[in-house]
């Protein structure tokens, strides 16, 4: 659909009756001009509450399960009362109770069995988005904007990797044509749940935490939208975290590749997988602030003609550095690396940075702390013989580290940049533990001690003049 606008509202943009009214107004304004479909996250903190409830159910903690269910219901009912005219309260409360009841049924099943099967988790946690989609659709209808809540399980098709599924675009295209086109043709605004989907044979899945951005981009691509607007609670993609670098600024434009790198390296503004579905059709994306809609935000585009040097610097904590070192040269370092990487891939663990360079073929890499235990377990299992026979030193782990990533397509082929960046850091007396630049020259990454992380970000931001317009 050539003029379709897809908009996504995140958890804080859906976080209260007042916020939902604003999201509805922003949607209606655009809907008056062109076809619009929106994708919504659960109200802020709701997904955490749902996940916590299921963990407590598995532990057998019935008291917390009941308290959480009550909190879930109360929050949405109170929101509905504030949001909707009195004559719609009863129907809305019924709708909320039905959805909370579905969640409650699954949570109670887990409580009974003391088990938390991934597929049931995905079915249950999608209720957060169904509740918020229901609320905003009811509100729009009460203001005479025809809207309909749509469960994305009917629209987005994925593989069966529960908790972190990947879309199957062809099937999603067919499903969205079948479900959403008829609504759009009638000028009804579809309100699609973010985060969830289903397999080809209809089993419920989710797209990973923060996955509603990804849902929106999948739909924008499937429907051949003209644009995607992602509404959050910050002004756009920034040159650095403004809490760390006081003079950080909103970047008017970044490329898909830059935005994806920044998201991957810790900038919280966009889910890292968001841009992939849009690349083929080159659909532009805007990152906008629903708290300050008058600010333009950041436009994310396939390519930017001019612009030199690094564009932004980001940092990541909650990571750990894992080092693997052969005890002697009797063992093939390449083989050890191959085995370690295979173990990480089987564990499904992401590696934000990896380096190796010495004659002893030692190497180190980063993993997220949340995935550390799993990574360690898979590595120790895979390398158990080498470790037991003393060919390898014990695997060493350092959690007191942080990753700094400098990102910009303009760094490609620009001599002297890496030198300036490293000088800026070392002038502050900061020791660089490890560093890497891929041959795409899109990102220069370095590991520093956790205590030095923020100073490193500030010194790079200043050295490269990222706070000033190019």
Contacting positions for Mg ion (CB under 5 A)? 10, 210
Give whichever of 212 and 255 is closer to ligand ASP, judged by the CB atom: 212
Q: For residue 355, list its beta bridge partners.
A: 364
Instruction: Output the residue with the shortest Cβ distance to ligand ASP.
Output: 212
Per DSSP, the chain holds a count of helices (H) and strands (E) of 15, 19
Work out what residue 402 binds among Mg ion, ligand ASP, none; the CB cut-off runs from 5 to 8 Å by kind. Answer: none
- Which residues contact ligand ASP (rule: CB under 6 A)? 10-11, 41-42, 47, 128, 194-195, 209-212
Q: How far apart are CA 80 and CA 212, in angstroms?
A: 22
Work out what residue 195 binds among ligand ASP, Mg ion, none; the CB cut-off runs from 5 to 8 Å by kind. Answer: ligand ASP
For residue 451 the two structure tokens come to: 């205590």
CA 41 to chain CA centroid, nearest Å: 12
Q: How far apart are CA 87 and CA 149, in angstroms?
A: 20
Give whichever of 194 and 266 is closer to ligand ASP, judged by the CB atom: 194
Work out what residue 35 binds among ligand ASP, Mg ion, none; the CB cut-off runs from 5 to 8 Å by kind. Answer: none
Q: Do 403 and 368 meet the contact criterion of CB atoms below 8 Å apart? A: no
Q: Do 356 and 334 meet the contact criterion of CB atoms below 8 Å apart? A: no
CB of 194 to ligand ASP, least distance (A): 5
Q: How far apart are CA 409 and CA 258, in angstroms?
A: 7
Give whichever of 14 and 343 is closer to ligand ASP, judged by the CB atom: 14
Give whichever of 209 and 374 is closer to ligand ASP, judged by the CB atom: 209
Give whichever of 210 and 333 is closer to Mg ion, judged by the CB atom: 210
Work out what residue 287 binds among ligand ASP, Mg ion, none; the CB cut-off runs from 5 to 8 Å by kind. Answer: none
Work out what residue 209 binds among Mg ion, ligand ASP, none; the CB cut-off runs from 5 to 8 Å by kind. Answer: ligand ASP
CB of 12 to Mg ion, least distance (A): 9
Contacts of 425 (CB under 8 A, 6+ apart): 404, 432, 446, 448, 456, 459, 460
CB of 47 to ligand ASP, least distance (A): 3
Work out what residue 211 binds among ligand ASP, Mg ion, none; the CB cut-off runs from 5 to 8 Å by kind. Answer: ligand ASP
CB of 66 to ligand ASP, least distance (A): 23
- Beta-sheet strands, E only, within 23-94: 36-40
Q: How far apart are CA 232 and CA 295, in angstroms?
A: 12
Give whichever of 47 and 315 is closer to ligand ASP, judged by the CB atom: 47
For residue 161 the two structure tokens come to: 């990797």
CB of 127 to ligand ASP, least distance (A): 11
Q: How far apart are CA 298 and CA 284, in angstroms?
A: 10
CB of 175 to ligand ASP, least distance (A): 20
Q: Do 36 and 189 meet the contact criterion of CB atoms below 8 Å apart? A: yes
Give whichever of 43 and 447 is closer to ligand ASP, judged by the CB atom: 43
CB of 383 to Mg ion, least distance (A): 37
Please, where are the H alpha helices in 186-275?
Answer: 212-222, 256-264
């Amino acid at each position: 659909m050539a003029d379709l606008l897809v908009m996504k509202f995140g958890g804080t943009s859906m976080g209260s009756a007042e916020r939902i009214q604003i999201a509805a107004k922003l949607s209606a304004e655009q809907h008056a001009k062109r076809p619009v479909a929106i994708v919504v996250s659960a109200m802020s903190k709701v997904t955490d509450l749902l996940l916590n409830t299921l963990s407590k159910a598995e532990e057998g903690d019935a008291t917390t399960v009941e308290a959480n269910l009550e909190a879930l219901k109360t929050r949405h009912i109170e929101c509905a009362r504030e949001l909707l005219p009195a004559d719609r309260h009863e129907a809305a409360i019924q709708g909320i109770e039905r959805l909370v009841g579905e969640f409650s049924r699954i949570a109670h099943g887990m409580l009974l069995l003391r088990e938390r099967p991934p597929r049931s988790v995905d079915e249950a946690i999608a209720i957060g988005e169904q509740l918020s989609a229901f609320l905003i659709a009811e509100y729009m209808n009460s203001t005479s904007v025809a809207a309909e809540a749509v469960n994305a399980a009917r629209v987005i098709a994925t593989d069966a990797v529960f908790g972190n599924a990947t879309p199957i675009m062809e099937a999603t295209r067919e499903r969205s044509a079948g479900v959403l086109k008829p609504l759009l043709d009638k000028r009804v605004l579809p309100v699609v749940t973010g985060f969830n989907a289903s397999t080809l044979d209809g089993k419920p899945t989710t797209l990973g935490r923060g996955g509603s951005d990804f849902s929106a981009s999948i739909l924008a691509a499937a429907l051949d939208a003209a644009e995607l607007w992602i509404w959050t609670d910050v002004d756009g993609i920034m040159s650095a975290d403004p809490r760390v670098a006081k003079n950080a600024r909103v970047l008017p434009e970044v490329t898909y590749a830059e935005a994806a790198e920044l998201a991957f390296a810790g900038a919280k503004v966009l889910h890292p997988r968001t841009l992939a579905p849009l690349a083929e059709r080159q659909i532009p994306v805007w990152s906008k602030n629903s708290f300050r809609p008058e600010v333009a935000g950041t436009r994310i585009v396939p390519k930017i003609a001019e612009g030199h040097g690094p564009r932004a610097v980001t940092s990541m904590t909650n990571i750990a550095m894992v080092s693997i070192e052969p005890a002697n040269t009797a063992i093939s370092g390449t083989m050890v690396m191959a085995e370690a990487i295979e173990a990480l891939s089987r564990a499904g663990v992401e590696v934000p940075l990896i380096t190796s360079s010495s004659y002893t073929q030692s190497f180190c890499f980063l993993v997220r702390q949340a995935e550390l235990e799993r990574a360690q377990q898979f590595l120790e299992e895979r390398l158990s013989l080498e470790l037991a026979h003393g060919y390898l030193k014990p695997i060493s782990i350092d959690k007191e580290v942080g990753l700094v990533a400098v990102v910009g397509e303009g760094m490609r082929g620009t001599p002297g940049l890496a030198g300036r960046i490293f000088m800026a850091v070392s002038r502050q007396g900061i020791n660089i533990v490890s560093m890497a630049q891929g041959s795409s020259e899109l990102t220069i990454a370095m590991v520093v001690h956790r205590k030095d992380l923020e100073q490193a970000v500030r010194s790079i931001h200043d050295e490269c003049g990222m706070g000033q317009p190019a």
